[in-house]
């Protein structure tokens, strides 16, 4: 099995190292100091489950990799629209694109029977540019329940969690999902093939939609947000509004707000990825987390005043980091 990992940072590096350990032919796509470190020392994983080092091929030139069986996207979702030139040289007739992203994916309504089937979410896929770069028929969803951090170039710190749930947009148990899942398990990870991956998307989003923007606005850790009575109540309200939207588009996450809150609290003094991006001066991944859910609320008639307010102030903060440019026309990504 041949796999290319685009975005070989904390999550991409961890998955690539695990698949390499399982015997897959892994190619990591990186650049700068990260690429130099990967070439010199491989991926060094520090984990409470045991440290290990793997030596997959690393490059900044996708042309030298050629077609692969699976592309694992470790990129931020706000980079997907520009990913076309990296993806195209890696494709053969049956190549899958496994997108490990937070929030609502561009493929969300693809093959979802019901009133919104094939509806395009504008905040996630403006003018269809993401679909042009990442064709829907190749999409495999992936929800990450693992906490990692790039400690230094080539060094991944794994804190907890090894579950990477994957699934087809139509809910089928496909051979491509089964193949990838088996390789992940052989590498020491959990990778269930879920017939209803959208439920997992909403379970994770319940936390991300509240903790990520609040952490950026306050600079607080997960535990800090939970300890403060006001922000704890704010998180609860945002989760409640999110569950209403989920139900209106046909999904019922099987987790209570109390349980989701407790899980976040156990994470401790952990900075969300959004806060980490803010501190590094990088654009925050907010469209798929907040703007998409507000758009779905408009679509379904849900009342989400708190989500709408947090989305507005978070978006303004994001514009201070990276002023928004017009989206490219479809097919030019």
Active-site residue set: 204
Q: How far is CA 284 from CA 82, 174, 244, 281, 311, in A?
A: 16, 33, 25, 9, 12
Q: Which long-range contacts (CB under 8 A, 24 or more apart) does 29-33 make?
A: 29/4, 29/5, 29/58, 29/59, 29/60, 29/62, 29/65, 29/86, 30/58, 30/59, 30/60, 31/60, 33/153
Strand (E) or helix (H) holding 26: strand 25-29
CB 44 within 8 A of CB 113: no
**Which residues does 309 contact at the CB level (< 8 Å), separation at least 6?**
none
């Amino acid at each position: 099995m041949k796999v290319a990992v685009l975005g070989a940072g904390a999550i991409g590096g961890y998955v690539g190292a695990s698949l390499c350990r399982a015997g897959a032919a892994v190619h990591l796509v990186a650049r700068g100091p990260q690429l130099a470190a990967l070439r010199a020392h491989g991926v060094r994983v520090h984990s409470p489950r045991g440290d290990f080092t793997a030596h997959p091929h690393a490059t900044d030139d996708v042309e030298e990799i050629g077609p692969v069986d699976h592309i694992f996207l470790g990129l931020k979702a706000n980079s997907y629209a520009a990913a076309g030139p990296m993806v195209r040289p890696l494709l053969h007739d049956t190549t899958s694109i496994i997108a490990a992203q937070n929030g609502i994916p561009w493929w969300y309504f693809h093959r979802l029977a019901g009133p919104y089937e094939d509806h395009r979410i504008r905040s996630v896929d403006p003018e269809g540019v993401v679909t042009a770069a990442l064709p829907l028929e190749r999409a495999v969803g992936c929800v990450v329940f693992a906490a990692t951090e790039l400690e230094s170039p080539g060094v991944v710190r794994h804190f907890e969690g090894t579950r990477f749930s994957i699934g087809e947009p139509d809910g089928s148990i496909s051979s491509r999902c089964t193949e990838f899942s088996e390789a992940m398990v052989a590498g020491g990870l959990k990778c269930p093939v879920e017939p209803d991956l959208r439920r997992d998307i909403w379970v994770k989003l319940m936390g991300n939609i509240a903790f990520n923007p609040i952490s950026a606005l306050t600079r607080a850790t997960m535990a800090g947000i939970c300890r403060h009575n006001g922000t704890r109540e704010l998180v609860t309200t945002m989760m409640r509004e999110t569950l209403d939207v989920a139900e209106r588009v046909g999904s019922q996450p099987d987790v209570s707000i109390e349980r989701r809150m407790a899980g976040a609290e156990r994470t401790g003094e952990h900075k969300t990825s959004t806060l980490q991006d803010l501190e590094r001066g990088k654009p925050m991944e907010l469209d798929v987390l907040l703007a998409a859910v507000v758009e779905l609320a408009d679509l379904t008639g849900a009342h989400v005043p708190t989500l709408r307010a947090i989305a507005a102030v978070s978006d303004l903060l994001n514009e201070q980091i990276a002023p928004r440019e017009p989206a490219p026309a479809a097919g030019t990504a």
